[in-house]
Amino acid sequence: MSQYSKALSSLEGSLEIQKIALPPNHPLLAISHNNIAMVYSHMGEYSKALSSYERSLEILKVALPPNHPLLATSYNNIAMVYDNLGEYSKALSSYERSLEIRKIALPPNHPDFAQSYNNIAMVYDKVGEYSKALSSYEKSLEILKTALPPNHPDLATSYNNIAMVYDKMGEYSKALSSYEISLEIFKIALPPNHPHLATSYNNIASAYYNMGEYSKALSSLERPLEIFKIALPPNHPSLASSYNNIASVYYNMGEYSKALSSYERSLEIRKVALPPNHPLLATSYNNIAMVYDKMGEYSKALSSYERSLEIFKIALPSNHPDFAQSYNNIAMVYDNMGEYSKALSSYERSLEIRKIALPPNHPHLASSYNNIGMVYSHMGEYSKALSSLERSLEILRKSVPSTHPHLVFVKRNIENLRNRF
């Protein structure tokens, strides 16, 4: 029996005794239901957790004044379960109810307000409403500035969250500024080789990477690698991630031999640290294949892509989007080798998976039709090529802005094809 099962058994036994000994709406019953819910949540049994949290809330509504802080906590807990279930509108509603109670029950700069705004921001972030996420994260930060010492680690986390939203909004200079403030606080608050510092350097590197400042990104990535070498065992997965990140920068700089070396170092660590069919091993083989492809070593690229695909077949459901990407990558190599029938077969397999896994107007479907069209073009089957390219354009017109580079690219492919016949 797992520790969670033992805890659940004890808590449920205790609840049964309390039901006999106490009135039906006694606050201790609410606490028991809450504790049971917490265990279910840790076990990932979110529907059972939700049921117990809701029972706890119903009791508290009867037992306590309408704006008691424990009601706010109860709504917050229910929201967290909805968040884990991916029911973000319900999560948002419960988080906002929790916040409203706290506004009545607590002083204006109480740290629980910061938690409420932070939780609301996280939901907005997940649903892609970045301006609302940013606003809530900033409100959380302002409260933390009042409530906490100036170098408290929670302030660093708050700046980091703000930076991540700016990153997603494409405002990389603002992201960089907030990441750097976060790092400065962590430097004061934490030991010099704490893993949070490594994460901060990684985030700064990510901002530089997105800005195309690859040498600065590389410089920032070397510091977390040094920290991880001191703080972690030699085959820890975080070291593999560091080598992988460094390799990605070298790849974008066109320094393929250095990229290959770092990707291979990452793979060697993952082979030791992870189960033999872990998806990250598939990702490593995929990355190595990408480098070989750029170096024109197509047979090696093909071998690594196929190894990646074999792992994904064991590790993932049969229609997982990563399969589609694997078949797409294999097709690209066959295309580069001039083996168009094999390329076409792999592109079509990729498309079939994407049709099942993705919404009907997802841009990745457009990419698949474009790739198929270009192979038909290489094979001289221009009418089939045109049909596929026009399907790609039709999807992109429904899914991306009219100025999107992919849409412009497909239009150009259609124009070039029409000029041929």
What pLDDT does residue 321 have? 85
Domain boundaries, the chain: 148-231, 233-316, 322-331+341-421
Superfamily of domain 322-331+341-421: Tetratricopeptide repeat domain (1.25.40.10)
* Tokens representing residue 410 in the block: 């497909």
What pLDDT does residue 291 have? 98
pLDDT in single tens digits along all 421 residues of the chain: 478 889 899 999 999 999 999 999 899 999 999 999 999 999 889 999 999 999 999 999 999 999 999 999 999 999 999 999 888 999 999 999 999 999 999 998 899 999 999 999 999 998 888 999 999 999 999 999 999 999 999 999 999 999 999 998 989 999 999 999 999 999 999 999 898 999 999 999 999 998 989 999 999 999 999 999 998 899 999 999 999 999 999 999 999 999 999 999 999 999 999 999 899 999 999 999 999 999 999 999 999 999 999 999 998 888 888 899 999 999 999 999 999 999 999 999 999 999 998 889 888 999 999 999 999 999 999 999 999 999 999 999 998 888 888 889 999 999 999 988 7
Determine the distance from the C-alpha atom of residue 111 to the mean position of all C-alpha atoms in its chain, rounded to a whole number: 27
Say yes or no: do domains 233-316 and 322-331+341-421 share a fold.
Answer: yes
pTM reported for the whole predicted model: 0.74
Rounded Cα distance between 255 and 249, Å, is: 9
Indicate the angle between helix axes 153-168 and 111-126, nearest 10 degrees.
Answer: 20
CATH number of 233-316: 1.25.40.10
What pLDDT does residue 1 have? 47
Q: Which CATH architecture has domain 148-231?
A: Alpha Horseshoe (1.25)
What pLDDT does residue 256 have? 98
What pLDDT does residue 305 have? 97
